[in-house]
Structures are given as C-alpha cells and as structure tokens.
Structure 1
Amino acid sequence: MDLTTIIGIIAGLTALIGGFIWEGGHLSGLWEKTAFLIVFGGTFAAVAVSFPINRLRSIPQAFRMAFRRSETNAEQIIDDIVAMGTIARREGVLSLEDQALQHPNNTVREGMMMVVDGTDPELVKQMLDLEMDAIEQKHDSYAKIFEAAGGYSPTMGIIGTVMGLIHVLSNLSDPSSLGPSIAVAFTATLYGVAAANIIYLPIATKIKTRSEEELRIMEMIQYGVLAVQAGENPQILRKKLSSFLLADDSFKSLKTASDAKRGFAHETQE
C-alpha cells in the first residue's frame, strides 16, 4: 500500500475541514445530502457516458495502481541481468534458458527468451517497444478516466449550486431563511471543486507518475536484454543500467534512459 496517496487525500480533506472549523464553522454545515447526490452522482453519470463499459471496468485496476506501491525491485533486476550477461559471455546465450523461464519479471522473461531463441536484435527491440507502447496506452486510459471526473466534478458543483439558488429564489416568503439556504446551495460547489482537486486529478497524476516509473524500468530491461545479446562487458553493463535509476527527478531519469538507448543503438550500428 502506498501511504503517500492515502495520507495526501486525508491531509487535504483535513486542511479544508480544519480551516472551516477554525473560522468558526460547524462540521454539520458541510454535510448536505442533496449536494452530495448531485455532485458525485452527476460526475459518475458523466464519466459513464464518456467511456465504454470495458474502460469503466478498469477503474478498480486504476485505483490499485494509484494506491499500491510498485513491487518491482529495479536493483534486483539489474543484478539478474548482469548475472545473465556474465553467464552468456562464458557459456553462450543458450545457457540462459532456465533462468529466463523462471524469472518473475514478465519483460525480462520474454526479452531473454527471444535472445535464447536467436531472434534478431532489431526484432527484439521492436517487440519490447510494442509491449511498452501497450502498457503506456493502458495506463493513459486509467488516468483519463480520473481526469474526466476532475473536469466534470466542478461543473456538477456549479449545477448543484444553481439548482439550490433557483429553489431559494422561488421561495422568498421567509427572508430569515435566505442565508442558510444560500449557504447550503454553495455546498455543492465546494464538493465539486474539492473532489476534483483532492481526489480525481491527484489520482490521475499519481497514475501517470507510476506509469513513467514502470516504463523507465522497462526501458532499462530492454537495454539490458539487447546488451546481453550483444555480449557487452557485465561490469560496464551494470554501470549503464544503474544510470537509469540515478536521478530522482522523473524528467532527468527519462532523459538518461533515452540517451542510454540511443548510445546502445549507435554502438550496435558501429
């Protein structure tokens, strides 16, 4: 479980509610069942209209991606690839079959098995590129669902507020009730904006971040597989693979990965 996602959502809600109470508000004043139904029910309906059923079925998987910590151990994968590279240089790539079949990482397993089968390096690269493209598209579809919800939610809040004001203005016989009634009407806007900026959009961003991390590891594996096939020195290979994980900043890490791939392609052409 990734606690940062849970802590972030709880902290955001706590800050909003705490600030409201600090200013003298009452917690009961933030609860309005009609506004809740309009905003969250309307957002769900809008998302359901926007996406086909097969995309909506992926929502639980998207939640798992946002709230669960990645189980991929990049350092262990580097150790495994370097070990395979050492064996391949000493005994040949055919000796990697058992290790490749038993490896828990799907990309390593498939990549190394293609190497063992004698697949052309360019075809190996193309196959792994296709797999990365498929993963990227799948993750992008996850994020788009929450981005859509983040776009609809504030609008549903405004709709709820307008509906509440219509109800207020249609009944002006009791001026003393106008203030509380207007406050209740604006609760819908609060729900819509808060849900978009504390829940939906942050979850979409977390999914994209997770996707970048996973794709970076897959790029590292692709480079390692091709390097093993080319018979690269294991110690040099370890340093190159480690460069994929050096930078904490995502942009720097992705740039490092891209540069390393271009460098390997240049070496193989030479």
Structure 2
Amino acid sequence: MDIATLLGILSGLGLIVGAIAMGSGLGGFIDLPSIAIVGGGTMASTLVMFPWNVVLGSIKVGMKAFTAKSPDEEQLIQQIIKLADTGRREGLLALEKAQVDNDFLRRGVRLVADGSAPNLVRAVMETEIDFMKQRHRRGQSVFKGMGAMAPAFGMIGTLVGLVQMLQNMADPSSIGSAMAVALLTTFYGAVASNVIFLPMAKKLEERSNEEAFYMAIIVDGVMAIQNGENPRVVQERLQAFLAPSMRAEK
C-alpha cells in the first residue's frame, strides 16, 4: 500500500480541520446544501464529460494511488539476465518452460520462443504499452475533470447564496451568517480539488509513468534475449535504465 497518498490526503484535511477547530470551531463550516451543490454538481458534470463505464473504471484506477507499489527494476533485470543465460545456453525454445511471474515479460518471452520476427515482437509489446498509457490517461482525466469542476460548482454555490442573501436584505443581522454560508461552497470546492482530485490525478500519472518505464526495460530485455546477447552485456544494457545508485555491484 502507498502510505504517502493516504498520509498526504489525511494530513492535508487534518491541518485544515485543525486550523478551523482552533479558530471559530467546526460547526460554522458544516453546511449540507453547500456540500450537496459541490459534491452533486461535480459528479453530475463528470457524468456529462465521460461515459458511464469510464467513470466506473476510474474508481479502479484511483485505487492504484493507494495500493500500487513501485516496481523493483533491479529484480526485473536479474530475472531477464537469467532468461538471457538460459536462451544462450539451451536455445530460445527452452524459454517456453521458463517460470516468469510478470505477465508482460512472459508474453514477450513466449513470442521469442515461438520464433516470431524481432520487429513483430517489438511492435506487439510497444502496442501494449501504448494502449496501457491510453487506458491510464482516461482514468487520470476523470480526476482532472473533477478537480476542475469542484471549484466551479463552489463558485456557483456561492452565487446562489449571495442571491438568497440579497433577497433578505431587510434583515441586516442575517447578512453576516448568510455571507459565511455562501462562501462555504467555494471553500468545499477548493479543498476537494486541491487536496483530493488534482493530487490523485498527478499520483496516477506518476504511477503510469513508472509502469511504462518498467515495461520499456522488459521490451529492451526481450529484444536482447532474442538477439542472443551475452548475459553480461544484457546486464550492462539494462542497468543503463537505472540511476547509478540503483545499479547492482559488479
């Protein structure tokens, strides 16, 4: 589980709630109509912007911000080196029996073992990466859309509150409290956008980049295996993807 995402959201909300509690108290910052305008309006706009299946799919994508772990590139490289050694000593056909945990690497190795042409192997694997990025971008765009809409509906709620306040100008004593309630929707929208939706969209983008980078290592490794390169050369080739501090000791 990615503790950073959960810790970031909880600490952001906690600091805001704590600051409010130390001031005038939480009671004045709770207004159900304002919550309904921001929450309901944001969801309604999201359903207009995206198909129903994309919105539902974004829930699954969003969980990656909390559950996904950063891949271990060095462990992957060591596994590819072993496969390269097997393919060089026993032939590429022997790779069919190799135990490979990663689905993407297993598919690439099987293509090689089946005798597929190098350009076909690379094309198939790079196509999968491209469509993976496309699927991820759709999920990210839902959260970006919600991040854009939440402040907008906060402003709409504020305008509604101001109109209602102006309609009751005959009672000057109610103006202050009415103005406070009117501003709460802007507050809710800003918090939802900047503490939850936009940060999650950025985290999902980073997760997608990590996965694409991991898969790029696999593509390069599979091509090296197919070319029959020396395992030592494969190691040097793949460790070029890593920062110097992450490279295995020679």
Give TM-score scaled by structure 1 length: 0.87
2:95 is aligned with 1:93: no
Please give the alpha-carbon distance, in whole angstroms, between the structure 1 residues aligned to 2:31 and 2:5: 26
How far apart, CA to CA, are the structure 1 residues paired with 2:164 and 2:150?
21
Aligned equivalent of 2:154: 157
Equivalent residue number for residue 56 of structure 1: 55
Offset of 1:21 from its aligned partner?
A: 3.4
Output one character per residue of 1:38-73: Cα deviation in whole Å (capped at 9) or x when no partner: 001000000001111221120221121111122743
Q: Percent identity?
A: 38
Distance 1:247 1:25, change over 3 A: farther
2:75 corresponds in structure 1 to: 76
Aligned to 1:268: none
Q: How does 1:1-270 map to 2 (within 5 A)?
A: 1-22=1-22, 24-70=23-69, 72-99=71-98, 102-246=99-243
Structure 1 residue matching 2:11: 3-state secondary structure: helix
Name which structure has the greater RCO, CA cutoff 8 Å, separation 6+.
2
What whole-Å deviation, never above 9, does each CA across 1:137-160 have from its counterpart, x for those lacking one?
000001000000011110000000
Q: Supply the distance in 2 between the matched residues of 1:162 and 1:61 (Cα, whole angstroms).
A: 35
Structural RMSD (CA) = 1.4
CA offset digits 1:92-135 (Å, max 9, x no partner): 11111111xx4221110110001001111111111111000010
Letter in 1 for 2:166: L
Quick check: 40-49 or 174-183, which moved more?
A: 174-183
* SS of residue matched to 1:57: helix
Instruction: Spell out, residue by residue over 1:217-245, the C-alpha distance to the aligned partner (whole angstroms, 9 max, x if none).
Output: 00000000000111111122113222323
Contact 2:71 2:210 in 1 (8 A): no
Aligned mates of 1:93, 1:126 — CA distance in 2: 19
The AA in structure 1 aligned to 2:65 is A
Where do 4+ consecutive residues of structure 1 move more than 6 Å? none
SS in 1 for 2:241: helix
Secondary structure of 2:199's match? helix
Secondary structure at the counterpart of residue 244 of structure 1 = coil
Partners of 1:54 and 1:17 lie apart in 2 by 34
Q: Distance in 1 between matches of 2:240 and 2:196?
A: 34
Quickly say closer, same or farther: Cα 1:246–1:71, change in 2 above 3 A. Answer: closer
Moved more, 205-214 or 11-20: 11-20
| Alignment length (residue pairs) | 245
* Amino acid in the other structure paired with 2:16: L
Unaligned runs of 5+ in 2: 246-250
Question: 1:247 offset after TM fit, Å?
Answer: 7.0
Task: Provide the rounded CA distance (Å) in 1 between the counterparts of 2:50 and 2:131.
Answer: 19
